[in-house]
Amino acid sequence: MKAETLSHLQGTDALAKAVLESLGEGVIVIDTAGKVALLNRAAEEMMGWKSFEVVGRGVEDVIQKETEEGEHIPYKDYILKKILEGKEIIVPVTKPYWFKRRDGSRFPASLVATAVRYDNHIVGAVEVFRDVTGEQEVDRAKTEFVSLASHQLRTPLSAVNWYAEMLMAGDAGELNEKQRKYMDEIYHGNQRMVELVNALLNVSRLEMATFVVEPEPTNVMTLVRSVLDELKPMVDKKYQTLTPTFSPDLPLIPADPRLLRIVFQNLLSNAVKYSAEGGKVECAVSCKKETGRLSIRVSDNGMGIPQSQQNQIFLKLFRADNVRETDTEGTGLGLYIVKSIVEHSGGTIRFESIENKGTTFFVELPLGKV
């Protein structure tokens, strides 16, 4: 049969074959014994093998896989193998595998593997993969840009900070009252800039997913106390009380202290900032061993979030009307960052708030993910 249009092929094996051969992604099919049954053209090109050379050979000989660090991945750890064993995994691989070509060179690949079923039996497994070298390069370029930008933006800010501090401390001679006031304005304005740059950097890192989560045994109590110490000047100035409570069995938990700190820092400083003089801020931390979750509750009796804007409070750069009136300095990034970190870590965040009564935030985090 001479087929010149797709409709000529409808319902024939030739259609499936033509499509398979035309796919831009590599496709490899194995049987239940782990032997290669099929390799499409894209896979041939990517791997450097011809289909007829590899059909019937063990898949681990044809596509050798390793981690980024070059550690060999044995066949028993292949996702294909796990799928043959009946495990339901459709893998959006976040960390790429490295595939080794016939000539020994390698490339990072993202892959999706699924079982091939016939009559309700698993008769094999299929893996669809593609080379993600390009994506990786883009990601790396972005990361480099952020770190360069952070350096370039912060350097002049550091200079302004340091010289302003020295002038205010009288290191270059005593200032009169007016001069001190002006210096204070310069210093304060620059501090806002520093905070803005830090917040923007956190946002870009989160959005580019370059936030490396590095869990280590973390003493949450110490971490919270260090945030409280930082806030103490502001708390004292407003005659507020800020009381932490920790469940007594709080162990060292596996968490990334830098990320966890950002969460506490934002929630607590918001609570202090948006509560009146004499206000009460509470922070309760507990660890539920049975659910493997860390629970955080931060509550205040401050100005609250207007009912009509509660659905926007986590949006980037959003600030509620009532806080914009009383405080012009916020960035609108804090809660956005907190939510990103919490969700990035598989946790949840919610709040209850009544305007002019107060707000309570509830955060639940799976241990070992933050």
Partner 1 sequence: MKDTLKKVLIVEDERPLREALRDILTNSGFSVLEAGEGEKGLALALTEHPDIILLDLMMPKMNGTEMLKRLRADIWGKDAAVIVLTNLSADSGELVRNVVRGTPLFFLVKSDWNIHDVVDKVQEVLTR
Interacting residue ranges for partner 1, rule: CB under 8 A: 143, 147, 150-151, 154-155, 157-159, 161-163, 165-166, 169, 171, 194, 197-198, 201, 205, 210-212, 214, 258
Smallest separation (angstroms) from partner 1 to the CB of 258: 7
Q: By C-beta, is 163 or 246 nearer to partner 1?
A: 163
Beta pairing partners, 240: none
Smallest separation (angstroms) from partner 1 to the CB of 207: 14
Q: By C-beta, is 206 or 224 nearer to partner 1?
A: 206
Smallest separation (angstroms) from partner 1 to the CB of 49: 34
| CA gap 190, 175 in Å, rounded | 19
| CA gap 227, 175 in Å, rounded | 32
Q: By C-beta, is 186 or 201 nearer to partner 1?
A: 201
Q: By C-beta, is 162 or 182 nearer to partner 1?
A: 162
Residues 6 or more apart in contact with residue 168 via CB below 8 angstroms:
175, 180, 183, 184, 187
| CA gap 306, 319 in Å, rounded | 11
Smallest separation (angstroms) from partner 1 to the CB of 275: 25
Q: By C-beta, is 7 or 155 nearer to partner 1?
A: 155
| CA gap 359, 313 in Å, rounded | 12
Q: By C-beta, is 74 or 173 nearer to partner 1?
A: 173
Smallest separation (angstroms) from partner 1 to the CB of 215: 13
Smallest separation (angstroms) from partner 1 to the CB of 268: 17
| CA gap 114, 91 in Å, rounded | 8
Smallest separation (angstroms) from partner 1 to the CB of 317: 21
Nearest by Cα to 288 from 189, 366, 175: 366
Using an 8 Å Cβ cutoff, are 202 and 195 in contact? no
Q: By C-beta, is 150 or 309 nearer to partner 1?
A: 150
CA atoms within 13 A on the CB side of 366: 7
Q: By C-beta, is 143 or 309 nearer to partner 1?
A: 143
Q: By C-beta, is 14 or 166 nearer to partner 1?
A: 166
Using an 8 Å Cβ cutoff, are 363 and 267 in contact? yes
- Give me 171's structure tokens: 């290191």
Using an 8 Å Cβ cutoff, are 40 and 26 in contact? yes
Smallest separation (angstroms) from partner 1 to the CB of 198: 7
Smallest separation (angstroms) from partner 1 to the CB of 227: 14
Q: By C-beta, is 33 or 138 nearer to partner 1?
A: 138
Smallest separation (angstroms) from partner 1 to the CB of 239: 25
